[in-house]
Amino acid sequence: MMNRNFNREGQTKFMDTQHLFTRLGWLVLFTMSANLSAHAQINRSSMDGFEIISRTPMAEKANTLGVTAGNAPATFRMADKNGKVQYSIVSNGDGGISVDALSYIEYAQKANRYVVYGDSSRVHVVSKAYVNFYTGDGKLLKALGLIATWPFTAALSESGFFAIAGNKNPAGTAPSMALSLYDANGNKQWEASLPNEIPTRVFIAEDGMYTAVALFDSDKRTGSVRYYNNKGALVFTDREHSSASGIEFLPSGKAVLAVGNGWFLYDLSGGYKLLASGKLPGNTVGKYPVSAHPSRNLFLILTTSGSPTNTGYRLQAFDSNKGTLLADGSFEGEPSWQPFRLAEVAADGNIRLITSREVIQLKMK
């Protein structure tokens, strides 16, 4: 839930610090031990339904930042060039790429796009959203300038759609909240007005057919999730859930919403119809904890183990027709919120799971 109270004069004040990780999500240091065994123990008794293909210990990456990266993790180092702070992208062997440094950087894997947004990279509180689009080789496609002020939240899909929900007016003036969607080249597709409530999360279907935004009304202490189609028209409003830690749009015209320790499967084709729901063993992990399988009617949710010490990961797969549990895996590690998708399903159906200790390649049996 968002951690600010938005009053009628458009001023904001802190209420708690839960969402601080979102604003500072790009400052996630990968300082994992390089001495981990490639055969770390896994609770095999709960591995039914998954098969391990390979495992790689997390390499030592001190002084390298793991960045908000949409559906794929990327890494970068900060550098000063001619007195200007830049991000030097060092993942995937493309160490020669440099982009101007703002608060957040995300990478759209399929579109091969970087989106850099926010305020100065060296401020503690991000109150402005300047947005730049770059090609995969670091060429500036479009600089959108200042498009939102706090409160705002944004997301990037693998295909390059970028959505941002926030205040269009300068800080200190009456708020004007809006949700906007841009394509992979930085062209605005649509803009929709929002209630003067705090946007906490935004989620995009990979094909841009749906965009969802979670809103919090600080006066009433309630919230809602609003769904918009590819033209920017409001199609559903979910008032049963005051927030969402994850929403994934499935190829079958359905959506999975995760919140707290539960998940809910909805049919979007004939109205917002609840098809199934269930409990989760722990809290969801990562910016995108729910993942759709590209070729099978199932989805995956990554959570903490639910153990008293809250250590360990649980990866569960569910049937997307009836919500039946198909696979349940337990993995060692120390879960923490990370600004990207920790369990990603590739086009061939293989699953890459990133834990605090290793990278594990899996597949469904």
Give pTM, 2 decimals.
0.80
Q: Which of the four pLDDT bands, split at 50, 70 and 90, describes residue 152?
A: very high
- Kindly report, residue by residue over 269-313, the tens digit of the pLDDT: 989 999 999 999 999 998 899 999 988 999 999 999 988 887 899
For residue 285, list its beta bridge partners.
none
Range of the domain at 90: 1-26+68-243
Residue 39 lies in a domain: no
Residues 104 and 150 in one domain: yes
Domain count, the chain: 2
Residues 208 and 325 in one domain: no
Residue 6 has pLDDT above 60, yes or no: no
Residue 55 lies in a domain: yes
Residues 83 and 205 in one domain: yes
Residues 215 and 280 in one domain: no
The continuous run of DSSP H or E covering 97 comes out as strand 97-100
171, 149 Cβ separation under 8 angstroms: yes
Residue 190 lies in a domain: yes
Residues 185 and 285 in one domain: no
Residues 158 and 216 in one domain: yes
Q: Which of the four pLDDT bands, split at 50, 70 and 90, describes residue 12?
A: very low
Residue at which a domain ends, from 243, 267, 288: 243
Residues 268 and 350 in one domain: yes
Residues 220 and 74 in one domain: yes
Q: Which of the four pLDDT bands, split at 50, 70 and 90, describes residue 34?
A: very low
Give the CATH number for residue 279.
2.130.10.10
Residue at which a domain ends, from 198, 226, 243: 243
Residue 33 lies in a domain: no
Residue 202 lies in a domain: yes
Residues 213 and 192 in one domain: yes
- Kindly report, residue by residue over 71-99, the tens digit of the pLDDT: 555 566 666 666 666 666 655 544 557 77
Task: Pick the closest to residue 299 from 237, 254, 242 (CA basis).
Answer: 254
Residues 253 and 199 in one domain: no
Residues 323 and 348 in one domain: yes
Q: What pLDDT does 61 receive?
A: 44
Residue 364 lies in a domain: yes
Residue 344 lies in a domain: yes
- Kindly report, residue by residue over 96-147, the tens digit of the pLDDT: 577 776 778 888 888 989 898 988 766 656 889 999 999 988 889 999 999 9
Q: What is the mean pLDDT of residues 326-332?
A: 94
Q: Which of the four pLDDT bands, split at 50, 70 and 90, describes residue 204?
A: very high
Residues 13 and 126 in one domain: yes
Residue at which a domain ends, from 218, 243, 268: 243
Give the CATH number for residue 105.
2.120.10
Q: What pLDDT does 28 receive?
A: 31
